[in-house]
Structure formats: C-alpha cells, structure tokens
Amino acid sequence: MTDNVIDIEGLRCRYGAFEAVRGISLQVRRGELFALLGTNGAGKTTTIEVLEGLNKATSGTVEVLGLDPIRDRAALRPRTGVMLQKGGFSGSLTVLETVNLWRNLTAGPRPADEALEMVGLSDKAGVAVEQLSGGEGRRLELALAVLGRPELLFLDEPTTGMDPASRRRTWDVVRELLRDGTTVLLTTHYLEEAENLADRVAIMKAGEIVTVGTPEQVVRALPARITFHLPAGTPPELSHSTLRQDGDRVTYHSTDLQSDLTDLLAWANGNATTLTDLAARPASLEDVFMDIATTDEPAEASR
Amino acid sequence: MSTQTIPAGVPSLYAQMATMVRMELLLLRRNMTATMLSVVTPLVVGVLLVSGRGYDTESGVARMSGVIGMVAVFCVHHHLTTAYASRRQEMVLKRLRAGIPSDRTILIGAASATILVFLVQAALLVAYGVVVLDMPVPANPLTMLVAMLLGSAVLAAFGAALSAVTRSSEAAMLTTLPSMLVFLMAPGVLVPLGALPESVERIASFLPMGPFTEIMRTSWLGHEMGGGELLGFGGTTLHALPWLGALVVWLVIGAAVTTKYFRWEPRH
C-alpha cells in the first residue's frame, strides 16, 4: 500500500454562488513533488488552502497525513510548512526579528542563522521586511515555511515575482528538501517550474483537474508540431498529421514527427518548393498548458 | 480521531501566548506614530480631564473611574480594531492560522498585549490620583483589577468583531465611531452620574462601561456613591459580584459575535 501523504476525493469548494473547485480527486505520495499547474482562477490556491486547513471544503473528503486538516489541526500543524501566495508578515519588523518570533511558534525549529543562510538572506537580517524586494520577501516566506523541518511542505506560487537567480536558488532549496525526504505540494503558473521540479503534475482549469501524470506522460498525449510558411500551392497530406492552414502559415500536428517530417521534406524537394521558417519540435508542457488554457476540451493522459 | 499525541517540541500554550504578546509589543514600539495616537494621547487627555480643581473625594474618584473607562475604550477597543484590521490586511492572521497557534491563541494573544498596556496606564492613573490629587488609596484593588481585566476583555472582543467590517487601519476611525460612542455613553464615563434623565440612565447603565465604572467607584472608595456604609474588603467584593456578572454576560456576547463574524483574511 502506497503511503499517500495527501488524499483528496471529490473536493468541491463554493464561495456563495461561485464554485471555485468542482469535484477534484488526487493523491500525493510520500517524498514526491506534486505540482498543481493552472492559470489564475483555476482553483489551485483554493485547493491548497483546503489542505492547509484554512478553507473548509463544501463537499468531498480531504486527508493530510491521514488526518483532517481542520479537525486534527493540533496534531497536523507541527508536521507541515506553509508558504502563502502572498504576505503573512508584518512589514515593520526586521527579518531576524520575524524569524526569531516565528521560531517560538514552531515545533523543533532550525537555528535562525541556518534558516536565513538556506535562502540567502543572511546579510538582510537587520532589514525591515517592508524594505525587502519582492523576491527577497518570498525567500523569507520560504525560510519560515521550512523553519520547522516539516514532513509536508505547501508552496503556493513560491517563485512568483522572483528574479531568475532567486528562482533557481529556490528550486535548489526545494530539491534539497526533497532529497531529505520532504513531500512537497506546489502550485504554480510557471510551466518551466513544473517541468523542472515536479515528479507529477495536475493541470487545473476552472476548478477541475483536466489532466494528471508525470510531465512526460502529460506531454506524450499531445502531438509534435511542424510549422512553416507556404507562399503558394497546397500543402500535402501527411499520414500521421492533422493539417491547419491560416493564410500562408501551415501547421501540422503530428503523432510521428520523424516520419511525417521526412515525407514533407521529400515532397518539398520533389516540387522544388521552399518551406519558409520551417520549424519542427516535440510537444512540451507549454503546449499542454496553452492547449488547455485556450480550449474547452480536456486532454486525456494516463493517470 | 479525537485523541492523537501532539508531536514533541511543540511550544507550550504559554510560550505561544508570550510570543504573540511580544510580537504586538514590538509592533507598538516600531510604529511610534500609531502608538502615540492610540496609547499616549488618551492617557494625557485623561490626566487633563481629572486635574481640575473643586472635586471632593467622591466626585474625584468617580471622575477618575470614568477617565480610566475612557482610556480603556480608546486604548483597548479602538486600538485593537485597528490592530486586527491591520494584521488581517498584511495576511499576518492568515499566516498565523496556517501555523501552530489555535484561533483562540491568536485572538487572545494579540489582545493580551493591548490589555497589558492598558493595565499599566490604569495603574499610572490611579497612582496619579492617590499621590497628586489626594485621592484615597483604593479600598479593594483586587476587585478593581478584575473589573479592569473583564472590562478590557469585553472591549477587546467587540474590537475583534468590529474589525471584521474594518477594511484597513484607516477605516477603523470610522467603524469604531458608533461603538466608541456606545461605550462612552454609559453614565459615569464621559457623562457624569445624574446628568441623564433617570429612565435613560437606568438603561444606559447596563452598557459594559456602566458596570465597570460602578465597580471601580465602589471598590476604590470602599462604599457606594452618596456615602453609604463602609463596606470593607468583603463588602465591596460582594457588591461587585452582580456587576462582574454583567461584564461576563457582555463578554460572552462579544465572544459569540466575534466567533461568528471574524474574518481571517480580507474579502476576495
């Protein structure tokens, strides 16, 4: 029996007339990093806040480490770390004051200098929180989320607003935590982040999970793409592709990139046709995301 | 799943409360302008209000009790409404709630710092009265302390409840206007006893600050206003009991309203 750290069945969350989460189910296994990917308004934050015990589910069951996030709060909180989507600390206190106060509200906390060192804020210890840059502020929030060496870490859009260097550094911190056995549930709208960090990904749209799997599984469901400009003439049918033409711009969605590309090039050679701006690439997570973000039809991937 | 062992290393309730208090006191020190407004100014105004001449012992004590009530309304009720609104806006309440402290610890911990500051102010005012204004030494300081604790707890509870409709610390000026008026309207606070028509005064005396000032006056003087018999320690305690009961009722109401309406994060 797999050790499911998080178990959600049929979760629904309603705010008045608006249903933010419409019946999602997922499991997160111990030691993995599970990413919830989606645009704003998809329901990611609502979902993670139910797991954090900040929101009440309208219906469905939610289990975190086998416990109820609201009812069993006293037993659960010492084992989890939380990074909210934004805010959480008074601006007028300094970084070090904030860490020291929070250490007294944390079970088994790391030393303050270790926490600051981890996120690269050691030289900002005496700076007021409100004077930190956006990225530095997020790093402080990360330090406080991992202060108690939690078993399970909730990160809600952890690198939003960060410069690329801070982002990479945060990813390093998260990877190190994963190596130590921490389980991580992360929400993000950065595809690169999900691709880089996630063991498994669930893509959410309008309160539903539209596809779940490893990044590779999710991507495999989408075809590769061949694009070029064809000023004159009719493009050929390719055996593994569907064709779409917009004026002189031609796009093939192909399930066998190599075979179709070979046929296409042979055709172009035979007809002495120039394919301008020819590009061919396999599907990426971005395609899945854009595809889902712009269409209403769910894509199937192995679960 | 009602019995689980709490994992080791969790800070004790006392430690959590102490940390909350320390956080609030640190914030008070850090935000000097706000502190001057909500803490120092009412105290100064209070001192000015009592320092006129021409008070006999009884009316002097009555006046001072009213002033302490007034200071409580500003420094506990108004200040806490502002503080809760501000913490909510910064998402501090939400973040605390995602951590170890329980909802009650967070609310009470934040209020405790403010109540502590108020108790110091009240002690200073009483000392000022005794030393400078020749007021008698309080006959039953214990009952007075209990009244101050309960009274400020009531003000705190309504401050928490009111903060739910207070979007920011600036907005607190507006939202606490009606509530402060209601609190200050109790006879013996700003309005001296006997100034209102008797029927109105009767009703208004059940507002929270009514029992508060009644206990303060009687326990300080050692007898009821209008020169009743000398009550002594036991007597003043007995006299205070029904009024303390009234304060407890108000506290229960305030706590119930807070439980129902308190918001932990700003509206979506």
For residue A298, tell me if it sits in a domain: no
What is each CA distance from B150 to B20, B208, B247, B249, in whole angstroms? 20, 10, 6, 10
Mutation target among B12, B94, B96, B168 for the A interface, most CBs of A within 10 A: B94
For residue A289, tell me if it sits in a domain: no
For A198-250, the pLDDT digits (tens) are: 999 999 988 999 889 998 887 776 778 888 998 888 888 888 888 888 888 98
Q: Do A169 and A262 belong to one domain?
A: no
Q: How sure is the predictor about A302, in pLDDT bands with cuts at 50, 70 and 90? A: very low
Which of B7, B97, B268 lies closest to A15 in CB terms?
A: B268
For residue B7, tell me if it sits in a domain: no
| The total number of structural domains that make up chain A | 2
Residue A80: strand, helix, or coil = strand
Contacts of A52 in chain B (CB under 8 A): 98
Q: Is B44 left (phi over 0), alpha (psi -120 to 50) or beta?
A: alpha
Q: Are B107 and B262 in contact (CB under 8 A)?
A: yes
Q: A67 vs B99: CB contact, 8 Å cut-off? A: no
Q: Do A251 and A134 belong to one domain?
A: no
A254-263, B180-189, B229-238: segment of lowest average pLDDT:
B229-238
* Domain extent for A64: 4-219
For B10-57, the pLDDT digits (tens) are: 999 999 999 999 999 999 888 888 778 777 888 888 888 877 766 778
Q: How far apart are CA B119 and CA B125, in angstroms?
A: 10
By CA distance, what is A108's nearest residue in B?
Answer: B9
Q: Do A177 and A130 belong to one domain?
A: yes
pLDDT(B197) > 60: yes
Rounded to 10 deg, the angle between the A134-145 and A164-179 helix axes is 10
Q: How far apart are CA A257 and CA B224, in angstroms?
A: 97
Assess B25–A contact: CB distance below 8 Å, yes or no. no
CA distance B160 to chain A (A): 18
Q: Are B72 and B152 in contact (CB under 8 A)?
A: yes
List the structure tokens of A166. Answer: 């801070």
For residue B172, tell me if it sits in a domain: yes
By CA distance, what is B30's nearest residue in A?
Answer: A92
Q: How far apart are CA B264 and CA B99, in angstroms?
A: 13
Q: Do A109 and A197 belong to one domain?
A: yes
More confident residue, A189 or A115: A115
Q: How far apart are CA B67 and CA B73, in angstroms?
A: 10
Q: B18 vs A104: CB contact, 8 Å cut-off? A: yes
For residue A303, tell me if it sits in a domain: no
Q: Do A234 and A116 belong to one domain?
A: no
Contacts of A67 in chain B (CB under 8 A): 1, 4
Q: Do A48 and A180 belong to one domain?
A: yes
List the structure tokens of B242. Answer: 């029904």
| CA count, 13 A, side-chain hemisphere, B109 | 23
Q: Do A184 and A229 belong to one domain?
A: no
For A94-106, the pLDDT digits (tens) are: 999 999 999 999 9
For residue A112, tell me if it sits in a domain: yes
Q: Do A81 and A60 belong to one domain?
A: yes
Assess B4–A contact: CB distance below 8 Å, yes or no. yes
Contacts of B15 in chain A (CB under 8 A): 104
Residue B27: strand, helix, or coil = helix
List the structure tokens of A222. Answer: 């989408």
Q: How sure is the predictor about A2, in pLDDT bands with cuts at 50, 70 and 90? A: low
Q: A90 vs B11: CB contact, 8 Å cut-off? A: no
Spatial CB neighbours of A80, under 8 Å, sequence gap ≥ 6: A52, A64, A65, A150, A151, A152, A153, A154
pLDDT(A300) > 60: no
For A115-166, the pLDDT digits (tens) are: 999 999 999 999 999 999 988 999 999 999 999 999 999 999 999 988 898 8
* Domain extent for B150: 13-261
Assess B6–A contact: CB distance below 8 Å, yes or no. yes
Assess B223–A contact: CB distance below 8 Å, yes or no. no
For residue B4, tell me if it sits in a domain: no
For B54-100, the pLDDT digits (tens) are: 677 888 888 899 999 999 999 999 999 999 999 999 999 999 999 99
Q: B91 vs A88: CB contact, 8 Å cut-off? A: yes
